[in-house]
Amino acid sequence: MKAVTVVPGVPESLRLRDVNRPSPGRGQVLLRPVEVGVCGTDKEIIEGKYGKAPEGSQYLILGHEALAEVAELGQGVDNVGVGDLVVPTVRRPLDCDLPVDFCPVGHYLEHGIWGLHGHAAEYSVTDAQYLVRVPKELADVAVLTEPLSVVEKGIDMAFRIGQARFDWKPRNALILGAGPVGLLATMVLRLMGLNTTTVATRPPESLKARLVRDIGGKYVDATIEQVTGEFDIVVEATGSWKVAMDSVRNLAPNGVYVLLGVYPSGGSMQGVGDLMTQLVLNNRVIVGSVNAGLKHFELTLEHMRQARSQFGDWLSKLITKRVTLDNYQEAYSWTHDDIKTVLEIRTS
């Protein structure tokens, strides 16, 4: 079978390989991937900055954002059936009794990222207990489930933390970045009834700006230094440490700041003492989310249904590029105007 692979740690080792078709073990299923989403983590792995191949393999099959069809059941599987459309979660625990999305670094494997092959292949295997069944009416956008689940977890934690302190009722939200994560965060917060302002450095006539306005959000073409006002929730989705640091000042007293990314090393600590003091004096909270479990995957599907009802085909507009497996290299090139690229594994 064909699979999109890299050699972790070796820059630009991306290639389409012929590899052996896997077989499901006990408690596992064989998947026939339909679509795989491409994201910044894939870019870092291709650049040799991150990633780990499974034990005994010289390469890693990419693909952690997937929509797939169940092709075969391993022994003991009874929660899904052959032909079901499913989305697999990403992480699998290693010596960790916590919910898998709260296991510390070093105590989990990740499909297509760390120690487990991903789904950018004609077939893949995964544990049946980590599958979420997808209704057919959401099949055209279900490949967005994994990135949306990370957003759902971050926002859910923000509300839980805020409401644990007092009867917290946020009204205004600031979203930094209008890539797929920023736009999905805008959608969730609009569905929850918050006034949202999404900031990015794309022109007001761009698709990203229009998508924000289409669901009732306010779009601002600006750098973070130009953003004024205070917001009950701030969602950072640029991956820039400077934007993250500078925008803490936009968090209102008693507000919650949500980090939705992994940030590069380096940066200046100048002014961090004042920033920390303001966090303490104003009861501000910072929380991060980069992975989610079954609960938030299921919440994702509910919000997809709501978005379909309230915003029509808005979610499908986030998928701006579709590439077939034979032309896989086109899927792993990025421009500022791309939102979500999808690799189509099965086209029939």
Tell me the pLDDT tens digit for each residue of 202-258.
999 999 999 999 999 999 999 988 999 999 999 999 999 889 989 999 999 999 999
Which position has the token pair 């669901």?
215
Please check whether residue 309 is in contact with residue 287, taking contact to mean a CB–CB distance below 8 angstroms.
Answer: no
- pLDDT exceeds 70 at position 348: no
Say if 299 falls within a structural domain.
no
- Do 284 and 152 lie in one domain? The reply is yes
Say if 312 falls within a structural domain.
no
Which of these three, 273, 288, 303, is where a domain ends? 288
Q: How many CB atoms lie within 10 A of CB 272?
A: 12
Instruction: Compute CA distances 268 → 200, 245, 258, 291, whole Å.
Output: 22, 10, 21, 27
124-127 and 28-38: which strand pairing? antiparallel
Q: pLDDT tens, 208-222?
A: 999 999 999 999 999
Q: How many CB atoms lie within 10 A of CB 290?
A: 14
Q: What percent of the chain has pLDDT over 70?
A: 99
- Do 192 and 126 lie in one domain? The reply is no
At 110, the pLDDT band (50, 70, 90 cuts) reads very high
Average pLDDT over residues 33-56: 96
Instruction: Compute CA distances 44 → 10, 13, 50, 185, whole Å.
Output: 11, 12, 6, 23
* Residue 253: DSSP 8-state: E
Average pLDDT over residues 270-286: 89
- pLDDT exceeds 70 at position 347: no
Average pLDDT over residues 297-315: 97
| Structural domains counted in the chain | 2
Say if 309 falls within a structural domain.
no
Question: Can you give the pLDDT at residue 346?
Answer: 81
Q: How many CB atoms lie within 10 A of CB 211?
A: 22
- Do 268 and 327 lie in one domain? The reply is no
- Do 99 and 180 lie in one domain? The reply is no
Average pLDDT over residues 70-77: 98
CATH of the domain at 244: 3.40.50.720
Q: What residues pair up with 19 in beta bridges, in sequence order?
A: none
Say if 225 falls within a structural domain.
yes
Lowest mean pLDDT among 134-148, 177-191, 266-280: 266-280
At 266, the pLDDT band (50, 70, 90 cuts) reads confident
For residue 251, give the nearest of 283, 226, 217 by alpha carbon. Answer: 283
- Do 224 and 260 lie in one domain? The reply is yes
Query: Angle at which helices 180-191 and 207-214 pack, to 10 degrees?
Result: 10
Question: Can you give the pLDDT at residue 272?
Answer: 85
- Do 200 and 105 lie in one domain? The reply is no
Say if 293 falls within a structural domain.
no
At 275, the pLDDT band (50, 70, 90 cuts) reads confident
Whole-model pTM?
A: 0.96
CATH of the domain at 38: 3.90.180.10
- pLDDT exceeds 90 at position 345: yes
3-state per-residue secondary structure call for 147-211: HHHHHHHHHHHHHHHHHHHCCCCCCEEEEECCCHHHHHHHHHHHHCCCEEEEEECCCCCCHHHHH
Residue 192 half-sphere exposure toward CB, CA atoms < 13 A:
21
State the chain's mean pLDDT as an integer. 95
3-state per-residue secondary structure call for 75-127: CCCCCCCCCCEEEECCEEECCCCCCHHHCCCCCEEEECCEEECCCCECCEEEE
Which of these three, 288, 305, 332, is where a domain ends? 288
Say if 294 falls within a structural domain.
no
Say if 209 falls within a structural domain.
yes
Average pLDDT over residues 82-86: 98
Identity of the amino acid at 196: T
Say if 17 falls within a structural domain.
yes
- pLDDT exceeds 80 at position 108: yes
Please check whether residue 144 is in contact with residue 314, taking contact to mean a CB–CB distance below 8 angstroms.
Answer: no
Range of the domain at 116: 2-133+318-344
At 308, the pLDDT band (50, 70, 90 cuts) reads very high
- Do 76 and 198 lie in one domain? The reply is no
- Do 203 and 273 lie in one domain? The reply is yes
- Do 113 and 156 lie in one domain? The reply is no
- Do 158 and 252 lie in one domain? The reply is yes
293 burial type by CB count under 10 A (0-12 exposed, 13-18 middle, 19+ buried)? middle
- Do 214 and 169 lie in one domain? The reply is yes
Pick the residue with more confidence: 174 or 271? 174
- Do 120 and 158 lie in one domain? The reply is no
